[in-house]
Chain A
């Protein structure tokens, strides 16, 4: 008890100004930062995949399947931080059984289930169906049976059947784009609809979330494509990389413009909350907002992408710049999520005081747990690529299944 009171006393000493007494404890910690970051990667990777499929950006072909599998790997992990964060995780199923229709959070389960079952799994299955059937015939041992199960009993790979697959795949992608928008726009709405919190309450929140999701999704696929190609000792497709870099740059510009619009609007309107929010930005959030999010995570990557993509730069240098830019973008987007979630709790709703967030190392809400949740999708992706190799070379190998 004395230790707890001692901890509370040290925490209280870090408060400046006045906080409501119940506000000393920050309610949403690092896990709630990880959650929108992961969902953003899902939505972004999927939107990238749909650009190839629906808008026929053929140069993106090498990353189409990789981005679908990336979206799936991250989507599987996305609800885990939320679950771990609940006070009563064993009651979480109540959100499905007795959802409260007016609650933005209650709809999460349904949007998630829709996206996972109807969009991602179906699209991946239709896209891989031909390969799965072929593999179920060619492979030996346990894998043969795995693929047999994955065929779900349909082994028809005639021209007609494949045409049908392609058509359905296209329809699912068309449904998938608004679904991906819904998935992440909804995450933005969870924050944007809280009128009690002037840092969150903004009509632009879902849109800013969405565009930052697209930024992070393109960047993660760019990174994964470069790393996986390197480790497979293959040559990188420069046309694809250039296209990815170009799209990433455009997405960053739109995202940054929207965020600046929100920022300028707030400053200009100068409402009651502006004093405390300005204090927060210049003190508590200076590093994570100004340095990490804006300078390191947005301006430097945008400039380096523009220079490497449109300047006369040797390919080696281009690849290096793209890689560094995409890496910085990830740091930047993670900071964006941090600044929204943690930033929104650093000031008192009495608009009279600021507190601090102390990130713990251990425990369910600690840095290690968050790190594990961030690494887990990559392991899942590794397993997925073993079962469903996304490399386009497989396509060419599969061109001659007639021999069997």
Chain B
């Protein structure tokens, strides 16, 4: 068999080409068709029919940092450890004394073992990201309206319009925004909006090995988020600021800020 294939005569080669080339051409045209199909789908997409939100089940998070990695790669977030669209915090509550919080490199490479000799009462991980608030202070303060709530409930930034004044970064109570070091505009989590529009889940949700992140829609009965909110005690971060966050936490301790 090997002999046959290695000693293919010229005629056979030409014959194969005659069969394969149209196939390759067809495959190439399908790539085009795919984009076209997506474009058609996008035209069909009615943003007013969606209201996206996320749930985070703190009991399930194991602090592996895969979500942080996936986000950095999917969204080309700068590699330095001071720019994150999502990060994971570790809370260590000792039997006595102050709660310790850390997030080395955003939890991207998971966490080092806790301090030796510390008597730990409880410890848990908290994934953080933009809360896509329904009453967002960042949108309120933007002087040019470059950051806005999309009709499907996602807080986005128009990077072709942002002037880079950083007022939104100051106004965000959750530290979810940063100034992109090369683009010089504000940047933050978009719930992977480019994926949502194609019917895909945000990258962090997709890769989570324990399904600690639940993505869905607020109004939709069949949405997993609905189930999550129905059967868990839900907390949001800094509720006193009246930002109406749309990232819902199950099992968030009072220490989580």
Tell me the A residues contacting B by CB distance below 8 Å: 4-5, 8, 12, 18-25, 27-28, 82, 85-89, 91-92, 94-95, 98-100, 102-106, 108, 190, 193-197, 344-345, 348-352
Instruction: Evaluate whether A350 and B175 lie within 8 angstroms (CB atoms) in the complex, with A87-B162, A87-B164 already known.
Output: yes
| Cross-interface CB contact of B163 among A21, A95, A102, A349, cutoff 8 Å | A95
Instruction: Evaluate whether A106 and B143 lie within 8 angstroms (CB atoms) in the complex, with A87-B165, A88-B162, A196-B241 already known.
Output: yes
Indicate if the CB atoms of B175 and A22 lie closer than 8 Å. Answer: yes
How long is the Cα–Cα vector from A395 to B80 in the complex, in angstroms?
64
Known: A25-B179, A88-B163, A103-B141; 10 extra A-B contacts, CB below 8 A, are: A8-B80, A18-B103, A22-B83, A23-B175, A87-B162, A87-B164, A91-B163, A92-B163, A196-B173, A350-B175
Taken residue by residue from 152 to 189, chain B's Cβ proximity to chain A (1 for < 8 Å, 0 otherwise) reads as 00000000011111110111111111110000110000
* Chain B residues within an 8 Å CB radius of A28: 166, 170
| Cross-interface CB contact of A106 among B83, B101, B144, B184, cutoff 8 Å | B144
* Chain B residues within an 8 Å CB radius of A106: 143-144
How long is the Cα–Cα vector from A91 to B140 in the complex, in angstroms?
19
Indicate if the CB atoms of A25 and B102 lie closer than 8 Å. Answer: no
* Chain A residues within an 8 Å CB radius of B82: 8, 21-22, 24-25
Minimum CB–CB distance for A113 against chain B, Å: 15
Indicate if the CB atoms of B175 and A105 lie closer than 8 Å. Answer: no
Among residues 66 to 107 in chain B, which have CB atoms less than 8 Å away from a CB atom of chain A?
A: 80-84, 87, 89, 100-103, 105-106
Indicate if the CB atoms of B142 and A100 lie closer than 8 Å. Answer: yes
Indicate if the CB atoms of A100 and B145 lie closer than 8 Å. Answer: yes
Indicate if the CB atoms of A94 and B163 lie closer than 8 Å. Answer: yes
How long is the Cα–Cα vector from A357 to B187 in the complex, in angstroms?
22
Identify which of A27, A105, A196 gathers the most chain B CB atoms within 10 Å of its CB. A196
Indicate if the CB atoms of B241 and A88 lie closer than 8 Å. Answer: no
* Chain A residues within an 8 Å CB radius of B105: 21
Indicate if the CB atoms of A105 and B174 lie closer than 8 Å. Answer: no
* Chain A residues within an 8 Å CB radius of B106: 21
Judged by a CB distance under 8 angstroms, whether B257 is at the interface is yes
Indicate if the CB atoms of A95 and B174 lie closer than 8 Å. Answer: no
Indicate if the CB atoms of B167 and A103 lie closer than 8 Å. Answer: yes
Indicate if the CB atoms of A103 and B170 lie closer than 8 Å. Answer: no
* Chain B residues within an 8 Å CB radius of A194: 137, 141, 170-171
Nearest-neighbor residue (CB-CB) of B241 within chain A: A195
Which 4 residue pairs are nearest across A and B when measured between Cβ atoms? Answer: A87-B164, A20-B175, A87-B184, A196-B173
* Chain A residues within an 8 Å CB radius of B169: 22, 27
How long is the Cα–Cα vector from A326 to B179 in the complex, in angstroms?
39
Nearest-neighbor residue (CB-CB) of A4 within chain B: B80
How long is the Cα–Cα vector from A307 to B141 in the complex, in angstroms?
46
How long is the Cα–Cα vector from A177 to B140 in the complex, in angstroms?
29
